[in-house]
Structure 1
């Protein structure tokens, strides 16, 4: 029996990308996964693909930017399944652009999906997670630790998520709830290099590349999912991938100028 056998997890952003891969990995480990996303049809297709018999998944369409929708989600989890062992806040959005040319509305949209959606889900899930002494996993980014050029409001929101994660770790620690931040570089996906085409007019070609041109290898999503699940078992506080990025973060803490110099050396022009 695996650690995840017969546990219940909520995965937001589960209809596509890394959220879908993580949901599949949990199901393979015997966990019942509540798959959450905004588009009902897309969500149902994803659930049918990764759990054809429908025995270990429940699809609940939810808008994580809407208070009432999130409250209803966790009420339904309690009603249908009676417990919750893990909350994986994977839903989010990345962007490209210049901060000085980005509208306040776009900043608010990024902040709502990348930060406030996590607040909503944690607040609604907390009673169930305290009962199980379960896990909260928040999906950050290398941009939670170090900004890079041409990513618009993304770093602003991901830095805020890192601060939120730290406070939750301190706030919920005594209740036995495990809180972990995951900070990966670019994750391998089929549309890498094309997904930002509409946002990069007037920007260097590097801006549309994974990581906005920072020279790091893309990460296999299945391997990252396995690493996260192991991190939960060990109750790690943080995962940074690649680990060598920690050196940049440490240098930047000592000197912002040094950190910027190192970042420029590892970013294609």
Structure 2
């Protein structure tokens, strides 16, 4: 399947987890993928895997919380590759704590990284997508957007992603730009492993506990989220816009 032949995709937070899996999936279907992370070195191993598998990929270092750096990164992508067709906003962090113990700096850091960065990237990308009258933007939300104890900052940011997505779909739709969000449940990634470490539970035991509460009786894998992102980034989803798709094994 070559749904992305001649397409150029940018994936943020692409060094590991869902970001790396998404970059690999898009490249495997023919896209030239720009893997963005804080440094080139962080994303290089994921790029090497894609190239070894026959795909086209490059690593770019960028702090996506910095609007000037984001503008320069997107302009560089267009200058070097001629276009930007797909933007996957995946960069994110956690700084979990109960409200009464959460430092203001941790609130600010999560909102800045998990929400404001998407605003910066979308604003920069649409400058090129609008004249081209084509674009696919997929933003990563989370099941936590519905509320999650100890994650007031993360939940607020991920709920904000859904509002951002719905609004951009309205504003950019007349230019044939689709904007959607994916909201994963528990996925086996370094980020969720860090959650287990934070609460003092063995990682495998933590996954087992989550699986017991999930109708499919298992946790998600990055490749499964990447498959949904690839659908929304493809022309197969040409009439889907402004939606948030929960991918959580049936959890309610």
Task: Give the TM-score category using the shorter length.
Answer: 0.7 to 0.9
2:37 match: 37
**Cα offset, 1:87, TM superposition:** 0.2
- Report the Cα distance in structure 2 between the residues aligned to 1:81 and 1:161, rounded to whole angstroms: 28
Structure 1, 123-132 or 58-67: larger mean CA deviation: 123-132
Aligned partner of residue 100 in structure 2, secondary structure? helix
**TM-aligned CA distance change 1:190 to 1:70, over 3 Å:** closer
Q: Deviations over 1:117-172 (max 9, x none)?
A: 0000011110222215110100001112x102122411111111111111111111
Alignment of structure 1 residues 70-81 onto 2, 5 Å: 70-81=70-81
**TM-aligned CA distance change 1:51 to 1:132, over 3 Å:** farther
Unaligned runs of 5+ residues in structure 1 are 249-269
When Rg is computed on C-alpha atoms for both structures, the one with the higher figure is 1
Query: Higher RCO, 1 or 2 (CA under 8 Å, sep at least 6)?
Result: 2
**TM-aligned CA distance change 1:199 to 1:173, over 3 Å:** same
1:174 match: 174
**TM-aligned CA distance change 1:191 to 1:181, over 3 Å:** closer
Alignment of structure 1 residues 1-269 onto 2, 5 Å: 2-52=2-52, 56-130=56-130, 131-144=132-145, 146-189=146-189, 192=192, 194-196=193-195, 199-200=198-199, 209=206, 215-216=213-214, 217-232=218-233, 233-235=236-238, 236=240, 237-242=243-248, 244-245=250-251, 248=252
**Count of equivalent residues:** 241
Aligned partner of residue 84 in structure 2, secondary structure? coil
- Report the Cα distance in structure 1 between the residues aligned to 2:55 and 2:23, rounded to whole angstroms: 13
Q: Could you state the TM-score of these two structures normalised by the residue count of structure 2?
A: 0.86
Q: Could you state the TM-score of these two structures normalised by the residue count of structure 1?
A: 0.81
**Cα offset, 1:45, TM superposition:** 2.2
RMSD: 2.6
Unaligned runs of 5+ residues in structure 2 are none
